[in-house]
Structure 1
């Protein structure tokens, strides 16, 4: 696997005309952030050696390079999920490639179901911490030379970037909440009892991505900022039916706020 990672990175380096230090993973319904990237050039996943391919509606499936906030960035327009049948090594393959390309900061976004009674649909939740409920760990197996066998996770999500997001949100008049993200394998949405369980365990939002990517990024020494769009609510007295279409609709509605925060964070984090 490590040889494949290096092969993919070498293929990209030979075709890159920029030198990004920052990467963004665009989650469900948040692909429009890609339109903010200027001087862009891109590579469809199917054209990149060894790269998995997105199979989920709302995930375009391409790597985009260009500028955002005046700085070189790379963006994954579409991510990979464990529920698609990929192994954890495949799900987190892009983060390994990012490290080889010189990325040192990763911005991760997703759509998630809110369990905190103070949350509203359309809220942006800064991820302060996570709980890993995936049945397979992304670092299972032989340790990669990019990090220690037992990586520390006391600050998986960078405190300075979280504080900076609060500053940006206050200046722009954007409601921003904070919480713990629970990562689960999916692809079913949660039952009311599962929502209540995750809430009891300390979760504020639940989703089917992000945690594996963050673990591997931190193993590589990449600092991380994570943010969730609360696209539905669950675990309360009245059960609410959820569909992927409704999730996408709510995520798309929140996209302008997400774009503003991401753009300013990237500009100010350099």
Structure 2
């Protein structure tokens, strides 16, 4: 687990760059980082400048921390995240969440681009994460627990906050579209799942599958933060349409729904 010294070192560095109190954290998934361009009075800090931060090599991740105002609220947005499949440790993947908490953030919106397992869903849908299934056998809280950061055995029964999901549904309805709601399965990657694995995942009760989000959400819950998870469904998972999968499709579909996604997040932040 990350040390308090590292967390505070990073927090103190960020505080030298800003004179505002952040209220909401945003983690922006593949192809969804353009939301950060909507942030006003923005302070942009490259990850390479931030002590103890990693640097993502994933396509569609800009490696910038953007701090400023979105709909009148001060937000800290990760324009690009760190993935376990890139070889980062769980501590490295989740470290930014610890720093957000240290900065005083109590609410986290975590987003991703992922594949639809539920055959009733379609590419371009946005899905509220109501729960998750961890298929990796990994957990970011393994190891000695620091009670100053959170309890040894955190409750995960309302990880994806009911009130925030209801709020997001109401915002979407006012904006004229509906949201899917379902269970997100975390697959380590970097390979896409096989058709047989997708059948297994569907049988287990998941509606979508992706390679991120769950570690950050677990650490946010451990940190007593309220979490809202939103998935952009960019493709049907392996075997459903009997066609090859590729990451460019993920980026392209995310770009197509960018306006709807951006409007939703801005509406939720405004109402928080």
TM-score by length of 1: 0.97
Which residue does the alignment assign to 1:20?
A: 22
Which residue does the alignment assign to 2:170?
A: 167
Q: How much has 1:135 moved relative to structure 2? A: 3.0
Which residue does the alignment assign to 1:142?
A: 144
Which residue does the alignment assign to 2:260?
A: 257
Q: How much has 1:228 moved relative to structure 2? A: 0.3
Matches within 5 A, 1:1-270: 1-2=2-3, 3-144=5-146, 145-234=148-237, 238-269=241-272
Q: Is 1:121–1:250's contact at 8 Å kept on the other side of the alignment?
A: yes
Q: Is 1:18–1:65's contact at 8 Å kept on the other side of the alignment?
A: no
Q: Is 2:238–2:244's contact at 8 Å kept on the other side of the alignment?
A: no
CA distance in 2, matches of 1:237, 1:195: 9
Unaligned runs of 5+ in 1: none
Q: Is 2:124–2:257's contact at 8 Å kept on the other side of the alignment?
A: yes
Q: How much has 1:19 moved relative to structure 2? A: 0.7
Q: How much has 1:6 moved relative to structure 2? A: 1.4
CA distance in 2, matches of 1:23, 1:201: 31
Q: Is 1:135–1:185's contact at 8 Å kept on the other side of the alignment?
A: no
Partner SS for 2:257? helix
Q: How much has 1:236 moved relative to structure 2? A: 5.1
Partner SS for 1:180? strand
Q: C-alpha deviations, 1:131-185, integer Å up to 9, x for none? A: 1112321000011221110000000101011011111111111231000000111
Partner SS for 2:229? strand
Unaligned runs of 5+ in 2: none
Using the TM superposition, name which of 239-248 and 102-111 deviates more.
239-248
TM-score by length of 2: 0.97
* Aligned Cα root-mean-square deviation (Å): 1.0
CA distance in 1, matches of 2:55, 2:123: 30
Partner SS for 1:92? helix
CA distance in 2, matches of 1:197, 1:240: 19
